[in-house]
Amino acid sequence: MSDLLEQMWDKILSRLPEDVREAFHDLEVHEQQAILEHLQRMVSEPGWHVEQRISAQAALAALENSEG
């Protein structure tokens, strides 16, 4: 994984709303959609570690709260 990609995911899954929003808003629209779809899979599909699920849910909540 490239350093930039790893840094982006570190921020998205950081559970820090400002970091999540910053990383997300730096992306192109199609990349944002792919991230949202992946986060949704993380919270809804089996096979993810509980901590990964918590991080994904926190990211979705941070992004949802930034839309209003």
pLDDT at 33: 97
Range of the domain at 9: 3-67
pLDDT per residue as tens digits for the range 6-40: 999 999 999 999 999 999 999 999 999 999 999 99
Judge contact between 23 and 39, C-beta under 8 A.
no
pLDDT per residue as tens digits for the range 31-68: 999 999 999 999 999 999 999 999 999 999 999 987 64
d(CA 31, CA 47): 23
Number of independent structural domains in the chain = 1
pTM: 0.90
Q: 9-12 long-range contacts, Cβ below 8 Å, gap at least 24?
A: 12/39, 12/59
pLDDT at 67: 61
pLDDT at 62: 97
d(CA 55, CA 68): 21
CA 41 to chain centre: 11
Smallest Cα–Cα separation from 5: which of 48, 50, 35, 30?
35
